[in-house]
A = this chain, B = another copy of it.
Amino acid sequence: MLSHSTSVTIVGFGAFGRMIAAHLALHCAVSVYDRGLPPGQTPAQVRFLTGPQEICGDIVILAVPVQAVAECLREIAPHLRAGQMVVDVCSIKEEPARLMQAMLPEGVEILATHPMFGPASGRMGVAGLQIVLCPLQGKGWRRLAVFLRRGLKLDVIVTTPEEHDRQAAMSQGLIHLLAHAVQTWGERPTIRTKSYDLFAEALAMVRDDAPEVFEAITQRNSHVATLREHLLQTMGPRPLAPLE
């Protein structure tokens, strides 16, 4: 478990970083480093760091888009010490896992994670929602897993970055591809069934995601290309065989 003597530094203070801070500030000491954030913009319960050299957390959470992970690691890696644990929260896992393993100094523990929710879907509470953990270096992740399970009541799934990305292509990747496709049609049918209404509700949940999230999920997950091929094959060529 985490304790109040555990310190966490969140690097990146966008919507996701703020959500993490709000959940963790009740359980441990939280500091924040965000190069782009002017001092004074952080809530009272977190400490704002003015440079990467001040990063001190036992756990350092990279709350930046996957597109910014390499640059972020370049900036903070010189200031990390053996025994600290670096955690990312990107929507895909193979690419940030590779970058963290390549760019972090020896002795630093590494845990790739993907909370399967965001500020919108987690706004009514996160209990029961999924978080995927991909342990890459060290054993400290076990304590964090216990905290996520018992402290935040999350459904913790431990797997590899490859298996995460393969499965996420089928769930998250597919929804984003469909949301993109349907949105480009520019027309919403007024004649529709209950099942279509549920489908539209599902797509609406990802419609306001940032463009870099869409890009990460549909372009940087290497399994999405295979998924799309499957989808195109199983939806055509016409005529389709009816289901057995």
Contacts and interface: CB of A to CB of B under 8 A. Distances in A.
Interface of A: 114, 116-117, 121, 129-130, 132, 157, 159, 164, 167-168, 170-172, 174-175, 177-178, 180-185, 187-196, 198-199, 201-203, 205-206, 211-212, 214-215, 218-219, 225, 228, 230-232, 234-236, 238-240, 242-244
Contact of A191 (B130, B198, B225): B130
A114 B182 CA distance: 24
Contacts of A240: 177, 180, 218-219
Mostly helix, strand, loop or mixed at chain A's interface? helix
A243 B214 contact: yes
A190 B157 contact: yes
Given A116-B191, A211-B242, A174 B196 contact: yes
Contact of A117 (B188, B193, B215, B239): B193
A239 B214 contact: no
B232 A192 contact: no
A196 B181 contact: no
A166 to B, nearest CB: 9
13 contacts: A129-B194, A168-B191, A172-B196, A174-B182, A175-B193, A183-B243, A194-B205, A195-B203, A195-B206, A198-B205, A199-B202, A219-B240, A232-B232
A178 B183 CA distance: 16
A20 to B, nearest CB: 17
A38 B185 CA distance: 49
A164 B189 CA distance: 10
Contacts of A243: 180, 183, 211, 214
A235 B181 contact: yes
Contact of A171 (B193, B205, B238): B193
A186 to B, nearest CB: 11
Nearest to A129: B194
A12 to B, nearest CB: 20
Most chain B C-beta atoms within 10 Å of own C-beta, residue among A175, A182, A191: A191
Nearest to A213: B242
A244 B207 CA distance: 11
Contacts of A214: 242-243
